[in-house]
Amino acid sequence: MPVLSTSPFLQPARLRCPQNSPGRQRRHTLPASEFRCLSPEDAISVFEIEREAFISVSGDCPLHLDEIRHFLTLCPELSLGWFEEGRLVAFIIGSLWDQERLSQAALTLHKPRGTAVHIHVLAVHRACRQQGKGSILLWRYLQYLRCLPFARRALLMCEDFLVPFYEKCGFQALGPCQVTVGALAFTEMQHAVRGHAFMRRNSGC
């Protein structure tokens, strides 16, 4: 699947090698690192990372395999994957929401006329954690959202221990989320992405 060219933030980052080096030959068609939107064909790789990341902590996954395929079919442009040597190492999946706050329906619905991007899940492969990849990917994702004319803000819900991480990424807590999953309760957080006309004019969006 080609890398999106609508935003400079999604351009693949490549390692440069001498003209005739073996490293250059190996990476001729396989970038060392690239960011691109996901497709339904990526669903199994996404689910394997998500399952390992969440089952041991929360006992369940934010999205099951059929739900991942559902969102990657309906709104692949609201996803972002980080690939290294062709292997998925981190990802975000989002959808559109049309209400001020998240509700139980937001877990499974995509509202095409919505202006809020609901970030369902951010996960990093276990071999790549503690390297800052989650915050880097989220930063790139938020920059990308600023290039989408319909996006006004990003919403997510997280457990309390993750609130400091998202606050460092610029999110603000809105208070307890209406959504519950089993015995789990969440904090709802948002990040404004509107009001960046100058950035749009000067970023190639």
Tell me the residue ranges of DSSP E strands in the chain: 33-36, 79-84, 87-97, 116-124, 153-158, 172-181, 184-192
Order of strands across the sheet that contains 153-158: 33-36, 79-84, 87-97, 116-124, 153-158, 184-192, 172-181
Would you name the residues annotated as active-site residues? 95, 109, 120, 122, 166
Which region holds residue 89: left if phi is over 0, alpha if psi is between -120 and 50, else beta? alpha
DSSP-assigned letters across all residues of 160-188:
GGGHHHHHHTT-EEEEEEEEEETTEEEEE
